[in-house]
Each structure stands twice: as C-alpha cells, then as structure tokens.
Amino acid sequence: AQKITQTQPGMFVQEKEAVTLDCTYDTSDQSYGLFWYKQPSSGEMIFLIYQGSYDEQNATEGRYSLNFQKARKSANLVISASQLGDSAMYFCAMREGYSGGSNYKLTFGKGTLLTVNP
C-alpha cells in the first residue's frame, strides 16, 4: 500500500480563490511528521509547511494552512487567495518516527499539479 496518496493529478483554481489539495497517509507509527513541498516549473523543491502528529492545532504559514485530520489520516493543504505564482506541482510527504530520532527519511506522494487561472 502506498504510504502517501495524492488523488488529484491536476487541479484548477481561479486567481484569488482558495483551493484544497488532498493528501492521505498510511502509518502505524504514533509519532510522525507531514510536509508539503512546492515544485514550480523551474524545478526546485520548496518547503511550505509542516504538521507534527502530536500538534493539536493545524499548522499555518501565511496563505498556506494544513487541514490535519488525524483519525482520517489526512493532511490536506489549503492555499487561500490563490496567486498566479502558485501554479506548480505540490508534493505531500511523511517522515515516520519522532523528530529527535535518527530516521529522517521522507516518503513523497506523486504530486498534484495546480494551475491558477487569471
């Protein structure tokens, strides 16, 4: 079974509207971390936001927020007030184990290509 599932290969959104990118995960660990990265057409991977499994509040970073539903094992990325520069591939990733340990391995999903229309 895939550890990270992103069911939306592509998404479209109008500029200035909000969009939600889906991510579900599969782990038996109690301690884990979830990450979102952005990859624009230029190719670099940009870290956006992080959610720890024990964090009680949903993470927020500017226009990015993470809708973390632990029981459903979902960690959806919400982008508010979309901008043309948000057009990119977005990857969800998971680190299993606690952040102070030695296992820093990330497993990435297949990604969602977001297109923001003017």
Partner 1 sequence: DAGVIQSPRHEVTEMGQEVTLRCKPISGHNSLFWYRQTMMRGLELLIYFNNNVPIDDSGMPEDRFSAKMPNASFSTLKIQPSEPRDSAVYFCASSSPRGGSYNEQFFGPGTRLTVL
Binding site for partner 1 (CB under 8 A): 33, 35, 37, 43-47, 50, 52, 91, 95, 99-100, 102-111
| Closest approach of partner 1 to the CB of residue 87, in Å | 18
CA dist 118 and 36 (Å) reads 24
CB atoms within 10 A of CB 112: 21
Around 4, how many Cα atoms within 13 Å sit in the side-chain half-sphere?
Answer: 24
46: tokens are 């940009």
Q: Which is nearer to partner 1, 51 or 82 (CB)?
A: 51
| Closest approach of partner 1 to the CB of residue 32, in Å | 11
Q: Which is nearer to partner 1, 58 or 107 (CB)?
A: 107
Q: Which is nearer to partner 1, 100 or 118 (CB)?
A: 100
Q: Which is nearer to partner 1, 18 or 101 (CB)?
A: 101
Is there a contact between 90 and 77 (Cβ–Cβ < 8 Å)?
A: yes
CB atoms within 10 A of CB 53: 20
